[in-house]
Structure 1
Amino acid sequence: MSGLKQAQTLSDSDYFEQLWQLDTEWFEPPNHRRGGWSGVVKYVLETTDGAINVFIKRQENHRTKTWRHPLKGIHTFQKEYNNILRLTANHIPTLEPVYFSCDASRAILVTKELIGYQSLENISPLNLSNASRKQLLKAIAHVLVNMHQAHFQHNSLYPKHIFAKPVANGWDIKIIDLEKMKRTLLVRQSMLRDLGTLERHANQDWSMKDRVFFLQQYFNEQPLSKKTRQLLHKIAKPKKAKRH
């Protein structure tokens, strides 16, 4: 534990500083941009309930503008923390927060490690049975339907942001990296954005049959209607490169 005391024995400001000063190897190289930085470490945190594996995300001068804070914005980790709470309140599976705090320029977000889970990016359908593959696609589709029906748009739904773990009756799914997530008025808008991103970046080992099955589960249609097939053509269409 490198001498880190339990949160319950310290004031929030003292605990914040201890987390901030942790000297341990980065899990991911720090991201530097616009005069600020953010980074992630993997850690074993002692609590009154015992040791837990966590990821500690720290950032300084990384802010994002919101409609509530259009000028100064808020810490991106604060936005992510708020979105974790929103998804949880709507029964949409995501990370479990352990701690969050911030000051004027810094923010710390601690979440439990997803033990036993893999990102969809690292799951090859070639290593799954036909039944397991269908169970996985069905589980993901149902989570995304619920997320979109609740008017949440992930806004960065790459395969690496969908985590899955095999369980007795199929697969358990978690949606992560919620820094860019937002509420939308139109379900269609959320669906087009997120499914389009997922389709364009999905592992090429997922066959066309797999992709059609996933969409059948998402739209609850079998076979897919003409209207849905037209919509899918729009989803799969490559995005135009931005002009510089």
Structure 2
Amino acid sequence: MSSLIQLLELPAGEAFEQWLSTPGEWVEEPNARRGGISGVQRVRTGDGRLLYRKQQVDHCYRDWRHPLGEPTVLRERRALQAFAALGIRVPRLLYCGTRRQAGQLQALLVTEALNGFDSLEAIYAHGMQHGWDAALRARIFQQLGQLLARLHAARWQHGCLYPKHIFLRVSPHGRVELALLDLEKSRRRLTSRRAARHDLRQLRRHAWWGEAEWRSLASGYRQACGHAIEE
């Protein structure tokens, strides 16, 4: 089994096949969507690095720029790069590629695991938030508000902003780190207001934390962009 360094140094002509043939296990079974198939495997390299590999066949989206369709991993790659440039933590992008074989459009996107992070969905489902004091709880959601304000100010919309896609790591000394995952539906909007309205309404529908958390999130959002959340 190849190490991560060996995989990253592969010639372009060999990379797709080598990344695809690295053994893995399904964490999201392949399912039919968008006229194709998409699934995610957990992969461990020969040097013990944990990665996630999104595998797709004919899984495309269409818009005015891509009327014939483009693999969704290419849109996700652009979003990963853009979010990182904004200073928003996302999984490290290791490989993205496509190839046409036997009449099918195959696509891969490989990212590095966010070690030590848990989703807000998992944290609340397992009651881990009960270990937070009021100050830490407020700081977590203020920082989340600041992160989302920075994203929306750049007119980026996450597009699938559920608690399972917001990841958190808190150090023993109380340092808060947040990250966003699953950027397959992320896109630029004409205005920051449209981006914010979509994401925040979506988050409201799917998040089950209390009003204190929402007040902290709104406070952080306002501090970062100078105006209140408009939902």
Same fold (TM over 0.5): yes
Q: Which position in structure 1 is the counterpart of 2:50? A: 53
CA distance in 1, matches of 2:214, 2:8: 48
Structure 2 counterpart of 1:98, one-letter code: L
Q: Which moved more, 1:160-169 or 1:31-40?
A: 31-40
Relative distance call for 1:5 and 1:174 in structure 2 (3 A) is closer
Q: Which position in structure 2 is the counterpart of 1:147? A: 151
Structure 2 counterpart of 1:207, one-letter code: G
Question: SS in structure 2 opposite 1:56?
Answer: strand
Question: SS in structure 2 opposite 1:137?
Answer: helix
- TM-score, structure 1 as length reference: 0.81
| CA deviation vs aligned residue, 1:183-216 (integer Å, no higher than 9, x gap) | 112111111111111111112xx22222222212
Higher relative contact order (CA 8 A, sep 6+): 2
Q: Residues 117 and 168 of structure 2 are in contact (CA less than 8 Å); yes or no, is this contact kept in structure 1?
A: yes
CA distance in 1, matches of 2:195, 2:36: 30
Q: Which runs of 5+ in 2 are unaligned?
A: none
Q: Which position in structure 1 is the counterpart of 2:135? A: 131
- TM-score, structure 2 as length reference: 0.85
Q: Which position in structure 2 is the counterpart of 1:7? A: 7
| Residue 103 of structure 1: how far off its partner (Å) | 1.4
| Residue 93 of structure 1: how far off its partner (Å) | 1.6
Residue correspondences, number: 220
Relative distance call for 1:8 and 1:163 in structure 2 (3 A) is closer
Query: 1:220-235 residue pairs with structure 2 within 5 A?
Result: 220=223, 228=228, 231=230, 235=231
Question: SS in structure 2 opposite 1:115?
Answer: coil
Structure 2 counterpart of 1:17, one-letter code: E
Q: Which position in structure 2 is the counterpart of 1:242? A: none
Q: Does 1:88 align with 2:92?
A: no
CA distance in 1, matches of 2:4, 2:200: 42
Question: SS in structure 2 opposite 1:6?
Answer: helix
Q: Which position in structure 2 is the counterpart of 1:197? A: 202
| Residue 53 of structure 1: how far off its partner (Å) | 1.4
> What percent identity do the matched residue pairs reach?
32
Q: Which runs of 5+ in 1 are unaligned?
A: 236-244
**Cα RMSD (Å) of the superposition?**
2.5
CA distance in 2, matches of 1:34, 1:210: 35
